[in-house]
Homo-oligomer: A and B are copies of this chain.
């Protein structure tokens, strides 16, 4: 620049202190989902306070502050509420009564405690979705072993016995192939103390998912239908968009939107679906939060699921969910051994052009634990898959057995 000198801004005449942020967001939980929500909030000049059991969670470094406490403790939640403009959460396993107390004391919570109450109990969730006319695998509450055998008569084998609460990544599920499996399933899932239900096994040809962001006034922005590929019950690969006939994709979007409306979700909400052998789309289950199947949207869409979540819970307009490339693939980075949460091989993986590498910054690696992910865009699914897989194979967490 060339021209006449300008006076320096008169900063010294103004109070020099921590700014009043555009907003302060409280997040119940400090894991990788909270970290990625925080990254979006920080872009808008918002600040974040997380509630976690320790001060070294993935989100802790980015957060202005960590409230150390238990998610289910109403006092901890109220302390968080008093420090922020809006509270949201990164997991649905928070006691709904404690969340309701937060609302009772006038704190804004999105999604609401009513939504969390409905979704966190998979039996209540499925009953609500069935009542709304949505297609689901057949299911039935079971309070004693005998009822499993009754369901078998009605649904046939195999059957899936599931915990009503706190199941994720295949934990809390047991597939029964015959009467002889009932005792072991009941024991493993703690049927005498945990609420369980049983579901007809769905012989799906593809597992699908859709992220939807819903605003406080009911507008919805849906991301494309994606295919999720699981190994050992943990999501390994997400392909966006799912390669299915247009009619099926449209039907899946319609179902997912109605499911989110049914539970009154606000924020980014995940809907997992099965594509049956007959081309039927069934709801598997919902996650009332940002979701692993939407991580590709950070690089793959105009606005990520995280940015749209922040917009929704702050009461701001939703952004575009359009994809920036014909295909995007996300591959999870799972701990291969027990050890440090710092990655090995990141320098090699960064040499793969187009690989977007995310490391969550967890303290500790455990086999199968989600430690990071890689996303790649492509003109074709093959291209995106090739890039993301090649990069993911080069990164390792923990000592390798």
Partner among B43, B62, B346 whose Cβ is within 8 Å of the Cβ of A61: B62
Given contacts A18-B363, A350-B311, A350-B316, contact A202 B2 (CB under 8 A): yes
Contact B316 A347, beta carbon cutoff 8 Å: yes
Contact A3 B42, beta carbon cutoff 8 Å: no
Compute how far the CA of A369 lies from the CA of B9 in the bound complex, rounded to whole angstroms.
Answer: 7
A341 at the interface (CB under 8 A from B): yes
Q: Give the top 10 A-B pairs by smallest Cβ distance, nearest first.
A: A45-B359, A9-B366, A18-B56, A317-B351, A19-B341, A19-B363, A2-B160, A1-B170, A45-B361, A1-B233
Contact B366 A6, beta carbon cutoff 8 Å: no
Compute how far the CA of A338 lies from the CA of B9 in the bound complex, rounded to whole angstroms.
Answer: 10
**What copy number does this chain have within its complex?**
2
Residues of B contacting A199 in the complex (Cβ-Cβ under 8 angstroms) = 2
Contact A5 B188, beta carbon cutoff 8 Å: yes
Partner among B9, B169, B189 whose Cβ is within 8 Å of the Cβ of A1: B169
Q: Would you give 12 A-B contacts (Cβ < 8 Å), ordered by A? A: A6-B368, A15-B363, A18-B55, A18-B363, A44-B346, A44-B359, A45-B360, A45-B372, A311-B350, A316-B350, A317-B347, A317-B350
Contact B64 A6, beta carbon cutoff 8 Å: no
A175 at the interface (CB under 8 A from B): yes
Contact A364 B11, beta carbon cutoff 8 Å: yes
Contact B170 A5, beta carbon cutoff 8 Å: yes
Contact B17 A343, beta carbon cutoff 8 Å: no
Contact A56 B17, beta carbon cutoff 8 Å: yes
Contact A357 B44, beta carbon cutoff 8 Å: yes
Contact B311 A366, beta carbon cutoff 8 Å: no
**How far, in Å, is A396 (CB) from chain B's closest CB?**
12
A333-381 residues with Cβ-Cβ distance < 8 A to B are 335, 338, 340-343, 346-347, 350-351, 353-354, 357-364, 366-369, 372
Compute how far the CA of A315 lies from the CA of B174 in the bound complex, rounded to whole angstroms.
Answer: 47
Compute how far the CA of A10 lies from the CA of B21 in the bound complex, rounded to whole angstroms.
Answer: 39
Given contacts A5-B174, A64-B61, A189-B5, contact A20 B233 (CB under 8 A): no
Contact A4 B354, beta carbon cutoff 8 Å: no
Nearest neighbor of A346 in chain B, beta-carbon distance: B22
Nearest neighbor of A188 in chain B, beta-carbon distance: B5
Contact A4 B363, beta carbon cutoff 8 Å: no
Compute how far the CA of A324 lies from the CA of B160 in the bound complex, rounded to whole angstroms.
Answer: 45
Compute how far the CA of A206 lies from the CA of B339 in the bound complex, rounded to whole angstroms.
Answer: 55
Known: A4-B170, A17-B56, A316-B346. 18 other contacts (CB 8 A): A1-B170, A2-B170, A5-B170, A5-B188, A5-B189, A10-B366, A11-B364, A16-B363, A19-B56, A21-B361, A22-B346, A42-B62, A42-B361, A44-B359, A45-B341, A311-B350, A317-B351, A320-B353
